[in-house]
């Protein structure tokens, strides 16, 4: 049994890619996309026809609607290769606009349903801002399930649990990046690996809090930099992993055992916690890493969305 097969015994494996031709090799249950991954995919020759066909059919509509058609087209193709769910992201430029986020999320879901895809097979990805979390709470009440992304802080995770969102995506690798950059020359890679990795520690804290307090929201570690971060989170509800790291796991026969355990978490002394808007904003502001990485992530996704729009207009 290779490490990927062993991991699947303890955790749902999700592919983090817009390149659906890669999915068959790793047989993930679910798949996630984001603007950067879709931008990368449409620049490959084999995916150019999808972009051209979408613009031929919907290019006369407003660009935002054409974008949603393109994202749903990719999502539908991905769903042909997996048994589970695909995550499709709302425009990051709407991250601080609850009403606009709701409108786009509902439209994306309606486009999927028009293609015969049920709500149970789609997660709407929304940035974990206060506005995004409140929009997700409303969508969940309507039966539209959400994946709260760009999640870097415990405060974001607590608020998402309160909102009863379906799933959160804490970003392991970007947390690791921030702490490594802050440490500079004093960073000790070996000492900060595995369970000591700051990104891994963040996900473990969230996972244990959810399991201790019976919060049903699924925890899906995301944004990995190395296999060690993945194996240190074996036992997490889900892990979304890029194809290159999936290949490394599939090529290794090193032993793997679960590091996270829901039953063990229930016996831990972890106090309950809840936030109102002011408390949430202060807690997020008090976390320099999370504040910086959330803002940086929204900007980066917005930039790639603009680039994708430019390609759409050229096609």
Catalytic positions are: 125
d(CA 241, CA 259): 17
Is there a contact between 254 and 3 (Cβ–Cβ < 8 Å)?
Answer: yes
d(CA 73, CA 16): 17
Contacts by 157-162 with C-beta closer than 8 Å and gap 24+? 157/206, 157/209, 157/210, 158/209, 158/273, 158/274, 158/275, 159/128, 159/130, 159/133, 159/275, 159/280, 160/128, 160/133, 160/136, 160/217, 161/209, 161/210, 161/213, 161/215, 161/217, 162/137, 162/274, 162/275
d(CA 256, CA 2): 9
User: 40: number of CA atoms within 13 Å, CB side?
Assistant: 11
* Neighbouring C-beta atoms of residue 240, cutoff 10 Å: 24
DSSP, collapsed to helix, strand or coil, labels residue 253 as coil
Exposed/middle/buried for 186, CB within 10 Å: 0-12, 13-18, 19+? exposed
The token pair that represents 235 in the structure block: 């036992």
Q: How far is CA 38 from the centre of its chain?
A: 14
Q: 151 pairs with which residues across the strands?
A: 170
């Amino acid at each position: 049994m290779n490490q990927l097969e062993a991991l699947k015994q303890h955790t749902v494996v999700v592919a983090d890619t817009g390149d659906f031709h890669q999915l068959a090799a790793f047989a993930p249950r679910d798949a996630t996309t984001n603007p950067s991954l879709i931008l990368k995919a449409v620049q490959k020759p084999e995916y150019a026809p999808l972009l051209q066909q979408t613009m031929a059919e919907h290019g006369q509509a407003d660009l935002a609607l054409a974008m949603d058609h393109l994202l749903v087209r990719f999502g539908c193709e991905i769903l042909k290769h997996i048994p589970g769910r695909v995550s499709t992201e709302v425009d990051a430029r709407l991250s601080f606009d609850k009403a606009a986020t709701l409108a786009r999320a509902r439209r994306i879901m309606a486009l999927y349903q028009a293609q015969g895809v049920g709500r149970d097979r789609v997660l709407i990805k929304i940035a974990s801002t206060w506005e995004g979390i409140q929009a997700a709470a409303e969508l969940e009440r309507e039966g539209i399930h959400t994946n709260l992304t760009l999640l870097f802080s415990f405060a974001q995770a607590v608020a998402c649990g309160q909102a009863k969102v379906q799933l959160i995506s804490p970003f392991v690798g970007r947390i690791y990046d921030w702490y490594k950059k802050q440490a500079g020359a004093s960073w000790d890679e070996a000492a900060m690996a595995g369970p000591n990795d700051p990104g891994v520690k963040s996900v473990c804290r969230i996972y244990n809090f959810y399991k201790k307090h019976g919060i049903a929201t699924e925890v899906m570690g995301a944004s990995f930099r190395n296999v060690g971060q993945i194996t240190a989170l074996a036992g997490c509800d889900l892990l979304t992993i890029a194809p290159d790291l999936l290949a490394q796991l599939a090529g290794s026969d090193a032993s793997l055992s679960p590091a996270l355990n829901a039953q063990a978490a229930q016996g831990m002394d972890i106090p309950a916690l809840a936030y109102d808007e002011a408390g949430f904003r202060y807690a997020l502001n008090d976390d320099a890493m999370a504040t910086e990485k959330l803002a940086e992530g929204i900007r980066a996704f917005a930039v790639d969305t603009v680039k994708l729009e430019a390609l759409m207009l050229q096609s």
